[in-house]
Amino acid sequence: KTLDTYKIKHGDMLFLLSSDRKQSNASLDSTSMNSASGTSNITGDMGSVSISGSSMSSGSSQSVVEDEVDQILYKEDGKIYRSRNEQLCRHGPQGKCLHCVPLEPYDEEFLNSCDPPIKFLSFHSYIRKLTGGADKGKFVSLENLSCKIKPGCTEHPPWPGGICTKCQPNAVTLNRQRYRHVDYVMFENASIVDRFLNYWRRTGNQRLGIMYGRYEPHKDTPLGIKATVAAIYEPPQKSSKNVLELLEDPLEGQVNRLAEAVGIRPVGWIFTDLLADDLNKGTVKHFRGNINSHFLSAQECIMAADYQNKYTNPCKLSPDGHFGSKFVTVVVTGDASDQIHFEGYQVSNQCMALVNDDCLIPTKDAPELGYIKESSEKQYVPDVFYKVKDTYGNEVTQLARPLPVEYLLVDMPAAFPLSAQYTFKAHLHTEAKLFHVENRQEIGETQDYTSLSSYLQQFPPDRFLEAVSDFHLLVFLATSDMIPLNMNTIAPLLEAVKTNNVDIAFHFKKCQEWATVEEIMAAHEATPRVQREPSYVGPGASPLPPIGSGAGMWTCAHCTYLNVPEKSACDMCSLPK
């Protein structure tokens, strides 16, 4: 049969959309065409295919669930409204002219006139710019950069045996990113950061933490997004004054699930780079961000890109279902006035691709320079270029071996609100000593039942919700092996902390699991830390017990450990007799 059989003429446009429903008994004769609506249904031996012109642009990315803040900003108008200018406007109060008409969120003149000037477009302003115009961004697609050879090419042997233009990745020219996914980093209160910095104050060693919080609209930037930090979790690590080594964290999944249950998520990572200058004045040295130094080292850029690849940003405009990342980097270092200062950064999407495809490595002796690997038998690496002005002011293209990492950075402010906010209410109890932070055993901060008992004794019974509203305490309760709590049993407590519901908290306090926790704390409180064993040898020794009497030894009902009679709690499991 020919195309005339299906009433398809030269010049007709056909749009294909795959359908999951297959019709095995369909015939080629059952063809319907609706020329008025531009929609056709063609049924043949291979099944049924629905053809719709409006469905091609949607693709599989329609099933992507974007972040809540993105869904909010998509619904906003985003335009910058201006009031009537009394000097320039010549119309009435209901009219509009060139001097008072609303501006688009990506208007460069307005962004430069802000105080301070907004250097980067917000991500949603960038999307509005792409989807604006007459076509409304019909063919806009945010594609992720790939530096790998496309798999599946059968025209030649695999690399290093051969390569062709079909599977070879394109050369990359690095450009400064014009937008950023997050425009502002806000710590809810100073207590969060002070608690994190106490480790450096006590040891002088650097520290790293994962920031947990939420993404919210940022009103100071058109269609902007801010990362609000509610807690800082400190994973296992080895640190010194100059080196930080991050260790594997077996509790990462549990901590993320607990954070999700209380309404927060990982939003970034923070690390210190501090060196005390004058201990009496409390000043620190300023060696980042000046003309002779760097903002982020190449190793830090690679680690930031690795985190951003781990926590990608879901996006329905990308064929991959994700584009870029909202995960931020915060550096705690000294500023020009020798005071502790917070600087926020992200690496560009190009840097994320270079790190994801294992193309970027640090240099040995210059922290401000990265290096693009050369192709080897195991890996093909495309050429990477960047543009710079020479001594005559001409723009020249250079190979990124080495590469200044400033081309990969996007900066943002990081600060505190005018009025403190508290997701976790334990910080409000200023006279109480906060619960110990995890993974600080080397400085004497151990999370155990003794510290838990001492911490909870500071709060009266009617302030139980405030006492347990501490992220580090919740992590200890949910991950401790000895406490009979897991994510299912602790769920009511997490809901109480999330909603600040006192009734749910007191109902949880009466459950059997928490009663067991209180018994364990009471046992640790009653048992002295150091207790000498009875001696049967030497001056003042006790008389030997009768043979076979067991000397009154008692067996623990929980772990079957044999304890001396003087003990009221088991030496092995610390549970009461």
- State the average pLDDT over residues 471-498: 89
Q: 227 near 326, Cβ under 8 Å?
A: yes
- State the average pLDDT over residues 161-187: 92
How far apart are alpha carbons 185 and 413 in whole angstroms?
Answer: 6
pTM: 0.80
- State the average pLDDT over residues 401-426: 92
Query: What is the enclosing helix (H) or strand (E) of 259?
Result: helix 252-261
- State the average pLDDT over residues 492-521: 91
- State the average pLDDT over residues 209-214: 97
How far apart are alpha carbons 478 and 542 in whole angstroms?
Answer: 45
How far apart are alpha carbons 545 and 560 in whole angstroms?
Answer: 22
Helices (H), ranges, 10-93: 68-75
What are the angstrom distances between the C-alpha of 280 and each of 201, 202, 283, 286, 335? 13, 15, 8, 17, 18
How far apart are alpha carbons 455 and 521 in whole angstroms?
Answer: 11
φ and ψ at residue 252, rounded to 5 degrees: -60, -45
Residue-wise pLDDT for 251-267, tens only, equals 999 999 999 999 999 99
Q: Residues near 348 by Cβ (< 8 Å), separated by ≥ 6? A: 176, 177, 407, 408, 409, 410
Torsion (CA) 28, 56, 172, 176 in degrees, nearest 10: 180
Q: Is residue 62 predicted with pLDDT exceeding 90? A: no
Q: 290 near 301, Cβ under 8 Å?
A: no
How far apart are alpha carbons 494 and 261 in whole angstroms?
Answer: 6
**Domains of the chain in sequence order:** 3-55 (no CATH), 177-381+399-415 (3.40.140.10), 425-526 (no CATH)
How far apart are alpha carbons 330 and 270 in whole angstroms?
Answer: 5
Q: For residue 344, what are the β-bridge partners?
A: 330, 412
Q: 184 near 326, Cβ under 8 Å?
A: no
Q: 287 near 267, Cβ under 8 Å?
A: no
What are the angstrom distances between the C-alpha of 444 and each of 207, 237, 246, 417? 16, 16, 20, 32
The residue among 6 and 386 whose pLDDT is bigger is 386
Q: 148: closest CA among 380, 400, 399, 401?
A: 380
Q: Is residue 324 predicted with pLDDT exceeding 80? A: yes
Q: 148: closest CA among 384, 407, 362, 358?
A: 358
What are the angstrom distances between the C-alpha of 185 and each of 115, 219, 226, 260, 463? 18, 13, 6, 20, 31
State the pLDDT at residue 530.
Answer: 43
φ and ψ at residue 325, rounded to 5 degrees: -160, 150
- State the average pLDDT over residues 51-67: 56
Q: What is the DSSP letter of 506?
A: H
State the pLDDT at residue 98.
Answer: 84
How far apart are alpha carbons 577 and 523 in whole angstroms?
Answer: 9
Q: Is residue 489 predicted with pLDDT exceeding 50? A: yes
Q: For residue 561, what are the β-bridge partners?
A: none
State the pLDDT at residue 432.
Answer: 75
Could you tell me the maximum CA-CA distance found in the chain, to the nearest angstrom?
116
The SS3 call for residue 180 is strand
Within 13 Å, how many C-alpha atoms sit on residue 576's CB side?
10
Per cent of the chain over pLDDT 70 is: 85
Q: For residue 386, what are the β-bridge partners?
A: 174, 398
State the pLDDT at residue 45.
Answer: 39
φ and ψ at residue 214, rounded to 5 degrees: -150, 160
Maximum average pLDDT range among 28-37, 71-80, 527-536: 71-80
Q: Is residue 52 predicted with pLDDT exceeding 50? A: no
Q: Is residue 233 predicted with pLDDT exceeding 60? A: yes
- State the average pLDDT over residues 533-541: 48
- State the average pLDDT over residues 459-480: 92
Confidence of residue 291 (pLDDT cuts 50, 70, 90): confident
State the pLDDT at residue 289.
Answer: 77
Torsion (CA) 145, 149, 151, 154 in degrees, nearest 10: 140
Residue-wise pLDDT for 14-50, tens only, equals 877 766 544 444 443 444 444 444 444 444 433 333 3
State the pLDDT at residue 47.
Answer: 38
The residue among 47 and 527 whose pLDDT is bigger is 527
**What does the block give as tokens for 120?**
């980067």
State the pLDDT at residue 561.
Answer: 77
